[in-house]
Amino acid sequence: MRYSRDELMAAVSGQMPEKRWKHTLGVMETAVKLAERFGADPAKADLAAILHDVAKYWPVKDMEQVIRDNPELNQDLLNHDKQLWHSEVGALVARRDYGIEDPDILDAIRWHTSGRVGMSLLDKVVCLADYIEPGRDFPGVNNIRELAQHSLEKALIAGFDSTISFLLQQQRVIYPLTVLSRNDLIQHLIPTGGS
Ligand SMILES: Nc1ncnc2c1ncn2[C@@H]1O[C@H](COP(=O)(O)OP(=O)(O)O)[C@@H](O)[C@H]1O
């Protein structure tokens, strides 16, 4: 790794307003706790959390350029809410500019907003930490925090449900991968898919 952890934190915090850095600190704390609770690697959870929003405040044009220049990123992102772009762009930036090579960490950054089918344990930890870090306050967040005491998957399904309900209420387009991620988690929770 090109940067020490402290250097990484300094570099990433310099790319965002104070409020977003505070959120990042919350995600770090929560991701480490969840990793310890559910058997993921806490050091990887910590690094992924530090970097998860690294591209969040990039100019839209710059994010768009990164997506267009890198065909391995999902080009369909360009047809969806720009708020979704920072995750895939962030994973690329983490590797290119910050020297993170660990595919587990890069995946957790890449999928932290949308989820994906077949989420890894680390993906789930970082995505859920983003929903429930101590600074979050949205309807239903305490229910998700309670579910997270016992089930990573049940809590994450509730998280995706809250995003999907919010978007439905606003009659906005839902990024299909989030629906697929949610369905995949439910299908693995109840393998028969039965009632
Ligand atoms: N699955 C999705 N489909 C469409 N838009 C989404 C989806 N997930 C998130 N968004 C949009 O991106 C915004 C930011 O999401 P996210 O990065 O998870 O939250 P935050 O900015 O609070 O960390 C949401 O408020 C919503 O507008």
Q: What's the confidence (pLDDT) of residue 191?
A: 57
- CA–CA gap between residue 103 and residue 118 (Å, rounded): 15
Four-residue CA torsion sign, 76, 80, 82, 83: negative
Ligand 1 centroid to Cα of residue 81, in Å, is 8
What pLDDT does 2 receive? 79
3-state secondary structure of 148: coil
Atom 13 in ligand 1: which residue has the minimum CA distance? 83
The ligand 1 atom nearest the CA atom of 84: 12
Measured by CA distance, the residue closest to atom 27 of ligand 1 is 83
Q: What would be the CATH architecture of the domain defined by 5-189? A: Orthogonal Bundle (1.10)
pLDDT per position as a tens digit, 67-79: 999 999 999 999 9
178 lines ligand 1 (CB under 6 A): yes
Q: Where do the domains of the chain lie?
A: 5-189
Neighbouring residues of 134: CB distance < 8 A, sequence distance ≥ 6: 26, 29, 30
* pTM (predicted TM-score): 0.95
* Cβ atoms of residues 102 and 44 within 8 Å: yes
Regions in the chain scoring below 50 on pLDDT: 193
This model of the complex carries an ipTM of 0.92
Per residue in 8-30, pLDDT tens?
A: 999 999 999 999 999 999 999 99
